């Protein structure tokens, strides 16, 4: 593709379901209309999020990227959105398994170049994508992390006080952000070693973070950038966690397109 005179494709969408053990995952595939096989991007949403994401961020990005020639696959993790399962049973590890199940399906999907499949993760979905990338190795084309919630255990633990803390310890679950979260989520999270994961990532990585993110501290991305050798970190001045202002949404899309096309030409 030529960034100075980009092709704009018509797009078509269809819903799909994927199986991961006993659960059905549901999502939307957005394809550019073309006779050629195209690169693909699998989206991973954030904690308590869904395949459209807050402020329709994923829907807008998905459509815009498809118009630029990239198939996009956005789905609900098990227990979220329209996928099967209960949220209280969700852990980061189960979400990694979900993403890898969708990855396997995308590898044999009509119209997609299996050697050009990337991951895009937002917030906690960024952590999930990072862990999935470690398992995929150089099979993965590239990795894009938006406000990745590395250190999310500490972020959630801020709310585990008083009665909530006692409830978790006594009942094995607690309600946070309107959802029941199981003890298994915290146990699984404690076993993760993100530092070791970062050392295993050897593909192109883009990290984008808003400087006014009030959910995931921006400095987290600075530390992650230093851990992932060769990664590119982009700050969007004034942007919040979901890039809700239109100017920031445009800047985010521009950064993603530039990154995707930088090694593709």
Walk along the chain (265 residues) and give the pLDDT tens digit of each residue: 444 556 799 999 999 999 998 999 999 999 999 999 999 999 999 999 999 999 999 999 999 999 999 999 999 999 999 999 999 999 999 999 999 999 999 999 999 999 999 999 999 999 999 999 999 999 999 999 999 999 877 777 777 778 888 888 888 888 877 888 888 888 888 888 888 999 999 999 999 999 999 999 999 999 999 999 999 999 999 999 999 999 999 999 999 999 999 864 3
**What CA–CA distances, in Å, run from 231 to 45, 180, 241?**
21, 35, 20
Chain mean position to CA 221: 15
Q: Which superfamily does 11-155+193-262 belong to?
A: Alpha/Beta hydrolase fold, catalytic domain (3.40.50.1820)
Within 10 Å of residue 98's Cβ, how many Cβ atoms? 27
Element (H, E) at 206: strand 205-210
The separation between the first and the last C-alpha atoms of the chain, rounded to the nearest angstrom, is: 7
Ramachandran angles phi, psi of 70, nearest 5°: -115, 125
Predicted model pTM: 0.93
């Amino acid at each position: 593709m030529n960034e100075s005179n980009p092709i704009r494709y018509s797009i078509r969408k269809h819903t799909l379901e994927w199986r991961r053990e006993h659960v059905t995952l549901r999502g939307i595939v957005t394809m550019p209309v073309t006779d050629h096989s195209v690169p693909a991007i699998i989206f991973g949403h954030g904690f308590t999020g869904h395949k459209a994401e807050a402020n329709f961020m994923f829907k807008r990005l998905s459509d815009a990227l498809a118009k630029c020639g990239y198939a996009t696959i956005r789905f609900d993790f098990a227990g979220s959105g329209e996928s099967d399962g209960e949220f209280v049973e969700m852990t980061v590890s189960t979400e990694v398994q979900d993403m890898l199940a969708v990855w396997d399906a995308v590898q044999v999907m009509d119209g997609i170049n299996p050697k050009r499949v990337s991951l895009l993760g937002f917030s906690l979905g960024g952590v999930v994508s990072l862990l999935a990338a470690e398992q995929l190795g150089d099979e993965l084309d590239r990795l894009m992390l938006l406000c990745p919630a590395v250190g999310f255990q500490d972020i959630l633990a801020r709310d585990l006080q008083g009665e909530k803390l006692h409830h978790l310890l006594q009942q094995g679950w607690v309600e946070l952000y309107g959802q029941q979260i199981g003890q298994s989520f915290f146990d699984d999270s404690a076993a993760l070693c993100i530092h070791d994961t970062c050392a295993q990532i050897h593909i192109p990585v883009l990290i984008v973070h808003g400087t006014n993110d009030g959910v995931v501290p921006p400095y987290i991305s600075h530390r992650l950038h230093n851990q992932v050798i060769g990664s590119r970190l982009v700050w969007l001045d004034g942007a919040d966690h979901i890039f809700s202002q239109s100017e920031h949404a445009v800047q985010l899309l521009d950064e993603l397109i530039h990154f995707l096309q930088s090694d593709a030409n």
